[in-house]
């Protein structure tokens, strides 16, 4: 597999973690100011970046592969990224503390960002908690894949 990254793209796990932290900051700031659409969008992007960092760690790659070499990796589909990581979210034991957060996170779709309808505050807050809370997906990924979040 060609591991040469696209010019200007996030390259390393650390690059993706920096993006994750930036999206987390943006999401929490927007949520605090009542901008739920933006908050919701950035929560999903934070999870996506964290997943990509975890995949890099798991696969022991030094960089994210070029798009031409690995089309399947270039996705915003969180379920697909979890599966690339070797995690089958739909088979999680419902008693596992991460299961409710995982179920909530999987409702996120990047294309929802094009919707003219607003994201209800309750939905944006639930997604944020599912991502960033103590029993959230990002904390779980950081613990299980040794990510410095």
Q: Tens of pLDDT along 46-93?
A: 999 999 999 999 999 988 887 776 767 788 999 999 999 999 988 888
Does the domain spanning 13-144 belong to CATH 1.10.1200? no
Q: How far apart are the first and last CA of the chain?
A: 28
* Crossing angle of helices 137-144 and 121-132, rounded to 10°: 10
Max Cα-Cα span within the chain? 44
Quote the tokens at residue 129: 């908690």
The pTM assigned to this predicted structure is: 0.90
Quote the tokens at residue 53: 């960092």
CA-CA distance, 120 to 131, in Å (whole number)? 17
Given pLDDT bands bounded at 50, 70 and 90, which one contains residue 16? very high
Percent of the chain scoring above 70 in pLDDT: 91
Domain boundaries, the chain: 13-144
* Residues 34-52, mean pLDDT to the nearest whole number: 95
């Amino acid at each position: 597999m060609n591991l040469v990254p696209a010019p200007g793209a996030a390259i390393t796990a650390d690059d993706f973690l920096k993006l994750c932290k930036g999206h987390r900051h943006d999401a929490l700031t927007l949520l605090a100011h009542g901008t739920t659409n933006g908050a919701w969008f950035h929560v999903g992007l934070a999870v996506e970046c964290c997943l990509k960092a975890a995949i890099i760690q798991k696969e022991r790659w030094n960089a994210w592969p070029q798009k031409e070499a690995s089309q399947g990796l270039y996705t915003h589909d969180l379920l697909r990224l979890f599966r690339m990581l070797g995690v089958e979210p739909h088979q999680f034991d419902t008693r596992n503390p991460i299961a409710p957060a995982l179920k909530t996170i999987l409702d996120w779709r990047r294309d929802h960002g094009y919707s003219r309808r607003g994201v209800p505050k309750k939905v944006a807050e639930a997604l944020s908690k599912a991502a960033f809370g103590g029993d959230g997906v990002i904390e779980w990924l950081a613990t299980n894949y040794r990510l410095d979040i």
